[in-house]
Amino acid sequence: MSETYELNRKHMVESQIRNRGVKDKRVIDALLKIPRDLFVPEIDKIHSHHDGPLSIGYGQTISQPYIVAYMTELLELEGDERVLEIGTGSGYQTAILAEIVKQVFTIEVIKHLANSAEKLLINQLGYSNIHFKIDNGREGWTQYAPFDRIIITAASRAFPEALFFQLTENGIAVAPVGNFFQQLVQYKKKDGQIREKILIGVSFVPLI
């Protein structure tokens, strides 16, 4: 079965990711490597490379592969960054980040999701550069701030203000913003000022 999943993964990366313009080699390599099937519930495993989000229980979803790849590319990672992620969910995006950067700090508000992601990422996959927190991520993680990059994988009406203060100078943040109609926004901090770039329309579960 794992060979089938590996083939599905290659096909997913070719048809959904490269074909739609994602070029960053670090991102492509991480998507080729991480076994996405491990991050979806048993019942949906055969659909784990499907071109869309899938349910992970508790009313939450694992994001569409393309969206994971595109958001990661928008973070413009080079490898030595410390990244804050809000919305661990299945832990799939967390694993992609952990493959590329030095340290990942991830916050999830639903205890069961946080615990199962931690078990998978630490015990099963052996990552040692991921730090977990069960909390509302809107306030960030002051103990470890500032972060070179911040990624939010749930949508809010506006980017949570407190998080801008936890972004380093020259830092980049990416988040879906909006209520029903959401847009993916990339934020860059220069000279203490935030500049935003609105990208594509998206559909995320709400940030609590």
3-state secondary structure of 204: coil
What is the closest distance, in whole angstroms, from the C-beta atom of residue 170 to ligand SAH in the complex?
24
Catalytic site residue from 2, 15, 55, 63: 63
Please identify, using beta-carbon distances, which residue of 136 and 142 lies nearer to ligand SAH.
136
Is 22:31 a contact under the CB 8 Å cutoff? no
Annotated catalytic, 63?
yes
Please identify, using beta-carbon distances, which residue of 87 and 171 lies nearer to ligand SAH.
87
Give CA separation, 140 vs 30, 117, 160, 162, 180, in Å: 25, 19, 9, 7, 24
The span from the CA of 97 to the CA of 105, in Å, is 10
Is 92:36 a contact under the CB 8 Å cutoff? yes
Residues found near ligand SAH in the complex (CB under 6 A):
60-63, 86-87, 89-90, 92-93, 107-110, 113, 136-138, 153-154, 205, 207-208
What is the closest distance, in whole angstroms, from the C-beta atom of residue 129 to ligand SAH in the complex?
17
When computed from its CA atoms, the radius of gyration of the chain, rounded to whole angstroms, is 16
Please identify, using beta-carbon distances, which residue of 62 and 192 lies nearer to ligand SAH.
62
What is the closest distance, in whole angstroms, from the C-beta atom of residue 202 to ligand SAH in the complex?
12
Q: Would you please indicate which residues are annotated as catalytic (active-site) residues?
A: 63
